[in-house]
Amino acid sequence: MNPKNIDLLSNDAELALVQGDSERCQARIAAVLPLVKSDNQLFAVLPFYQWLSNPAQGWKSVLTAIEQLDPAVKFTWSFDTTKPALERMDAKTQQAAQEFIAFFEGKIDLPTLKARLE
């Protein structure tokens, strides 16, 4: 796999997450995240996947990435394939993940997301 192909690596990270292969997911994200700039939606989506593949690390890195995003970023990422992976997680992680997805889908704004995560 080409280590510079952002789309391919991020898609494989999502596939690995859905398949429950957290090691592969983490490896793909570690390879691609340094290549992604803050004006790309993957700048926040990949830390979201990273957290979902290892919920014990906490979701604060996802929020930090969102706060560093270019304000012009509009999310177009579909989480339909990701949502089944949430079923394997505990209720607290599922709820937080749903709040992040609501933000990414434009259903809530950043202050609302922060309030709901507290």
* Residue at 9: amino acid letter: L
pLDDT value of residue 1: 52
7 band by pLDDT with thresholds 50, 70 and 90: confident
| pLDDT tens profile 83-98 | 888 988 999 999 999 9
SS3 48: helix
Helices 6-19, 22-32: inter-axial angle, 10-degree rounding:
160
Question: Tokens in use for 66?
Answer: 């969102």
Cα dihedral 54, 57, 62, 67, rounded to 10, equals -170
| pLDDT tens profile 27-71 | 999 999 999 999 999 999 999 999 999 999 999 999 999 999 999
What is the model's pTM? 0.91
pLDDT value of residue 83: 86
CB 96 within 8 A of CB 62: no
